[in-house]
Each structure stands twice: as C-alpha cells, then as structure tokens.
Amino acid sequence: MDLKNKKILITGGSLGIGLVTARVLVEAGAQVGITGRDASRLQKAATASGAHPIVADVSKAADVERSMAEFLKQFDGLDCLINNAGIGVHKSLLELSAQEIEDVWRVNVLGAALMAQKAAAIFVQQNHGNLINIASTSGLRGYETGTAYVASKFALRGMTECWRAELRRHNVRVMLINPSEVPTAFGNADRVERPEQDNKLTSVEIAYSIKAALEMDDRGFIPELSVFATNPF
C-alpha cells in the first residue's frame, strides 16, 4: 500500500509506540488521527507528530462512536485502524483485584473490539482496508505477575485470528504486531516516558515494523510479526 494520503487512525497515540508511529506515518505522507484520554498530552503529541488529535477513551462505547465520527468528518474515509491503546497491571494472582483485571480488559480487549467493529463496517462496505492490532510478546507466553495483562494480549491475539477469518474475503488485511519490551511510559502511574536502554527495543523499531507491514503490496500481508530485542539480558 502506498501510504501517501492514506487515512489512518491510531488509538493510544499520546506517547510511546503510538506517538512515534503517527510521526513516521505522517512523514510518509499519510493523513493520521490519534486518540488519547489526556487532552493536554494528546495535543502535545499532535504538535510533535503532525497528526489530528481526538480525545477519547476506547473503553467507553460512546467515545468510540464519537472518535470514529470525528475522524471521518476530518478525513472523509478510513484506510487503516491501528489498535494501539493499552494498559497493564502486573501483580501476582493473590494480589490482583477484580477492578484491576476489568480495567485492563476494558481497554486492551473490549476497546480494541469496539474500535475494530467500527472500522470493519467501513472496510466491508468499501471492500478494502487494513487493521493492525498492537499486542505483545506477552501474548505468546505467560509469566509471573502477568495474569491480567498476558491474558488480555492472548485474547487480542485470538480476536485478531477471528477478524482475519471474517474480513479476508472483503480484501481487508488484519495484522498483529508483538513487540517485546519497549521502555515507554507504559505502566508508569505518572505517564512519564522511561529512558531508552541499550538492550531493549525502542518505539522507532516498532513504528517502522508497522510501516513496513502496511507498505507491502495489497496482494499480500503479514499475519503476525513478533519483534524481539537481540540480547535483552
């Protein structure tokens, strides 16, 4: 797909992978919208990336409806949805509260599904489209304290397979990107970006992985791409 003038909506675009991906895609000529819950932070991201800001919480159905309507009003169409919004709680099974599990699932699973529903309706009608879910290598293997987050990413991976089976006949490419650890603001209560580490990935690697997957000719697609740090130890 030639990215020039393509209309792309990225959820969770205020920081980290979402912000850098927005900037990379705008630089490639795409028309990009980003969503985020914090208006001030989102506006800074929009200024830094050149993307259009839409304040919205993907875990709320009304916000999903409004954010898609605003994007369509701004850009008059949709070529790609990137489900990037996500939160994480890492506690042992004995420490987790029901509310913490629900909060993670409402963003990482329900939010992604609600956004995908809206995008899929457009894609089916126009008989083309691209849907990229940003999961995690945590969706490939469980670990201690991962109950809420890991389960949500396993669920996102499963939903991706279901959506691919449903939408492929409509020329919709459904793709999954699994980054390993990327030091960002993810998981920080104060939402301050963590500094880069020599043995960890950066948001740039993931952004260019997304860009490369989209730029493949429309006759083909990459169903799933996992990106690991070479030597994270």
Catalytic sites, residue numbers:
149
Structure-block tokens of residue 33: 């919208």
Torsion 194-59-139-119 (CA) sign:
negative
